[in-house]
Structure 1
Amino acid sequence: MSLGEALFTAFTVPFMARALLVMLVLAVVAGIVGVLVNLRGLEFISDGLTHAVFPGLAIGLAVAGTAGLLPGAAIAALVAAVVLTLLDRAGVTSDAAIAIVLTAAFSVGVIVVSRSDDYAGELEALLFGRVLTIPPEEVLPLIGVCAVALLAVAVTMKQQLFRAFDARGSLASGDSALRLDLLLNGAVALVVVAAASTVGTLLVLALLIVPGAAARLMTRRLWRLFPAAAVFGAVCAWLGLAVGFAASVGGGVDLPAGSTIVAVFVGAYAVVLGARWIADRAGDRRQSVTRAPIEPATGASSPAGEGR
């Protein structure tokens, strides 16, 4: 099966249709939230939150099986978001706070998973996701988690942007820095929860960071960043699933779905980066030609009155 055929026919299969629905919703929401993460420079905090969900996933799996993954991850991520925000407000440097939360959370998760009989299999599922085996009953909860994350940033969008560009001005206007930081970190945590159930905890960061970074290359208009990131994420998720399906069905190559999606995200970012570089170089050349001094033609007659 060719990639062109897989782009449409692959999603007539029920498990592929479920994966596409969840990934489209997740990619759009992650792209929008990721723009704020990019503007605020919170990529490292997002990395800490991606690892903080790991013990929640592990404990949820140990207590209630696959049905416990989503609530366990949600509780762990929201607790980590609050802890990171409070540590930052307490004066602990952000890098130190993230390192403390990241290492503590990940070590607890590994300890919990190691108590399982199928240690290797369960660890692989938590780290690399299970986008193609999402049960039908988990689709709506995952979409609900994404919707709550989107709502959290939508209702405070103007204040979040004000804080991103002028933190002091935001405080002077009466905005609560603690409330805005908690809401943004909470939205990031919820996106991480949904993504951890699909592409795994190790690859979540790509869904949050790459669309926003690509949007910054695609447009210089602030309000166009959000639709650009959302469209970029949705198209890459669709292509990633189609590539994996075409490779496995048509080429006999079994590619991990989550890793394939992330690889498409990164590859698409490289294409956008290359296109922006070419456009900038072409713009520089046009400007140099426009600004070049006009040389008088050789042998041209002297201006009237010259030499008199």
Structure 2
Amino acid sequence: MSITDALIGAYALPFMGRALLVLLVLAVVAGVVGVLVNLRGLEFISDGLTHAVFPGLAIGLAVAGTAGLVPGAAIAALAGAVALTFLMRAGIASDAAVAVVLTATFSVGVLVVSRGTDYASALEELLFGRVLTIAPVDVLPLVLVSLAAATMVGVTLKQQLFRAFDPGASRAAGDRGLVLDLVLNSAIALVVVAGSSTVGALLVLALLIVPGAAARLVTRRLWWLFPAAAAVGAVSAWLGLSAGFAISVGAGVDLPAGSTVVGVFVLVYAIILAVRLAVDRAAAPRRAAQGTPPAAEGVARNAGEG
């Protein structure tokens, strides 16, 4: 199989075209939302939300089959987002709140799945995704869920950034912290819904965390973080699907598509990190000659770009 066949020709197949469309939209939106997750330090809360959707996925699958996955996950995710937001604002430590939601909801999901006749198959699909078996009727709901998350973040983006960097000043300016937290956590939850229905509940966190973390290695410009994260997500999703297809079809090695996509996300991050470290090391003598430490140089650059 040629590289062109893997990167382009494979998507003439209907199931590959559907997978690419959903993953590209999801990866771009997850990248944008993930920047705010990274800036706010909400990685563990995002992990809690990935587990909070599991009972919704399980109940939706039990009640309505695959058609019930997105509605069930959406209800569970939004309920989890609201619960986590109020638990944290009530003074409960965020780690404790996440642990309570994570363990309670995940156990409920496993109990629901265990009542089915095909326990192992259903559990594997919910945990590790079904990106190559997305039905045509599921494409639009998954895209709309992703776009809803993007809209929620886009409408409140300036306020979200203000709250991320200076919560006190944000409150003094009249921003309502509870509303902003609910909006952001709900957007994260919706991304988790779409991701859990494609790459699975255990792997969706990579789509949220990796692009934003990679973007912070690529640029120090605040507003460039969002397109950089979206680009990293989109390219990683495309390369991940292509690599999985090439290895499975061309080499005859059966690889789970969702795990392959996530593996490529991590690989892309590792490459960007290696390049960043190499660039910083090459620039170290110049900084030493100028007497400017790396951190100070970054601050000066940001000030000039503002």
Question: Shorter-chain TM-score: which interval?
Answer: over 0.9
What secondary structure, in the 3-state scheme, does the structure 2 residue paired with 1:30 have? helix
In the TM superposition, what whole-angstrom CA distance separates every residue of 1:140-194 from its partner, at most 9, and x where no partner exists? 0100001110000000000000000000000111100000000000000000000
Q: CA deviation at 1:287?
A: 2.9
Corresponding residue for residue 238 of structure 1:
238
Q: CA deviation at 1:289?
A: 4.7
Corresponding residue for residue 121 of structure 2:
121
Q: CA deviation at 1:290?
A: 5.7
Structure showing greater radius of gyration is: 1
Q: CA deviation at 1:249?
A: 1.2
Corresponding residue for residue 102 of structure 1:
102
Alignment of 1:153-172 (within 5 A): 153-172=153-172
In the TM superposition, what whole-angstrom CA distance separates every residue of 1:27-64 from its partner, at most 9, and x where no partner exists? 00000000000000000000000000000000001111
Corresponding residue for residue 84 of structure 1:
84
What secondary structure, in the 3-state scheme, does the structure 2 residue paired with 1:220 have? coil
Q: CA deviation at 1:84?
A: 0.2
Alignment of 1:6-85 (within 5 A): 6-85=6-85
**Is it true that 1:277 corresponds to 2:277 in the alignment?**
yes
Corresponding residue for residue 191 of structure 2:
191
**Is it true that 1:175 corresponds to 2:175 in the alignment?**
yes
The CA distance in 1 between the partners of 2:16 and 2:271, in whole Å, is 26
The CA distance in 1 between the partners of 2:24 and 2:159, in whole Å, is 27
The CA distance in 2 between the partners of 1:239 and 1:4, in whole Å, is 12
The CA distance in 2 between the partners of 1:99 and 1:281, in whole Å, is 39
The CA distance in 1 between the partners of 2:169 and 2:119, in whole Å, is 51
The CA distance in 1 between the partners of 2:145 and 2:290, in whole Å, is 52
What secondary structure, in the 3-state scheme, does the structure 1 residue paired with 2:8 have? helix
The CA distance in 1 between the partners of 2:135 and 2:254, in whole Å, is 21
Corresponding residue for residue 146 of structure 1:
146
Q: CA deviation at 1:246?
A: 0.4
**Is it true that 1:209 corresponds to 2:209 in the alignment?**
yes
TM-score (norm 1): 0.93
The 4+ residue runs of structure 1 with deviation greater than 2 A are 2-5, 286-291
Corresponding residue for residue 226 of structure 1:
226
The CA distance in 1 between the partners of 2:114 and 2:2, in whole Å, is 41
What secondary structure, in the 3-state scheme, does the structure 2 residue paired with 1:202 have? coil
**Is it true that 1:250 corresponds to 2:250 in the alignment?**
yes
In the TM superposition, what whole-angstrom CA distance separates every residue of 1:241-278 from its partner, at most 9, and x where no partner exists? 00000001110011100000000000000000000001
| 1:177 maps to amino acid | G
| 1:183 maps to amino acid | V
Q: CA deviation at 1:285?
A: 1.8
Conservation of the 8 A alpha-carbon contact between 1:20 and 1:241: yes
In the TM superposition, what whole-angstrom CA distance separates every residue of 1:107-142 from its partner, at most 9, and x where no partner exists? 000000000010000000000000000000010010
Q: May I ask how many residue pairs the two structures share in their alignment?
A: 291
Conservation of the 8 A alpha-carbon contact between 1:15 and 1:132: yes
Report sequence identity in percent. Answer: 71
The CA distance in 2 between the partners of 1:212 and 1:3, in whole Å, is 28
* Gaps in structure 1 of 5+ consecutive residues: 292-308
Corresponding residue for residue 294 of structure 2:
none
Q: CA deviation at 1:286?
A: 2.4
The CA distance in 2 between the partners of 1:44 and 1:247, in whole Å, is 33
* Gaps in structure 2 of 5+ consecutive residues: 292-306
Conservation of the 8 A alpha-carbon contact between 1:82 and 1:182: yes
